[in-house]
Amino acid sequence: MVEKTDRTAGSGGSRSADGRRFEVFLREAEADPLRHVGTVAAPTPDVAHEEASTLFGRHARDVWVCPAEETHRYSAEPLAADSLAEAER
């Protein structure tokens, strides 16, 4: 049986100091997997797509964007994991 990685839920909350942000995913060729390349600040998905296209246009066949605040993150080593666990207790 494969050993399961112990992951911790992120603290949630805003991921932006400057308005809405969108997580950006690219696919270079049709057979490629989507690749996460970070976030852009943008007020709407369409603007986020434009921003991502400006930065990654030469590398992207498909661009997916997802509101950063709608993403639930479960990470093996979130920042200050000890204090996160403490806060949950």
Partner 1 sequence: MISVSKLLYGLDAESDGLRYDAADDSTKSQITDDKQRRPVVVWNTTKRCNLYCEHCYAAADCEGAANELSTAEGKALIDDLADFGAPVLLFSGGEPLVREDLPELVAYAADAGIRPVLSTNGTLLTRENARELKEAGLKYAGVSVDGLPERNDRIRGEDGAFDAAVRGIEACLDVGLKTGLRYTITEHNVDDLAGVVDLLVDVGVDRFCFYHLDYGGRGAEIADVDLSPEATRRAVTDLCDLTREYHEAGEEIETLLVGNYADAGYLVEYADREIGTDRARLIHEYLRRNGGDPTGERVADVDPVGNVHLTQFWQGYSPGNVRDRSFGAIWSDESNPLLADLRNREEHLTGRCADCAYQDICRGGSRLRALSAHGDPFAPDPKCYLTEAERDGAEALRRIRETSTAD
Interaction site with partner 1 (CB under 8 A): 10-11, 13-18, 21, 26, 35, 37-41, 51, 54-56, 58-59, 73, 75, 77-80, 82-83
Q: What is the spatial distance between Cα 38 and Cα 14, in angstroms, rounded to a whole number?
A: 15
For partner 1, the closer CB: 4 or 58:
58
Least distance in Å: CB of 33 to partner 1?
A: 11
Least distance in Å: CB of 68 to partner 1?
A: 9
Backbone phi and psi for residue 67, each to the nearest 5 degrees, phi listed first: -55, 125
For partner 1, the closer CB: 30 or 54:
54
**Distance of CA 68 to CAs 7, 8, 32, 88, Å?**
19, 18, 23, 22
For partner 1, the closer CB: 1 or 82:
82
Q: What is the spatial distance between Cα 88 and Cα 56, in angstroms, rounded to a whole number?
A: 38
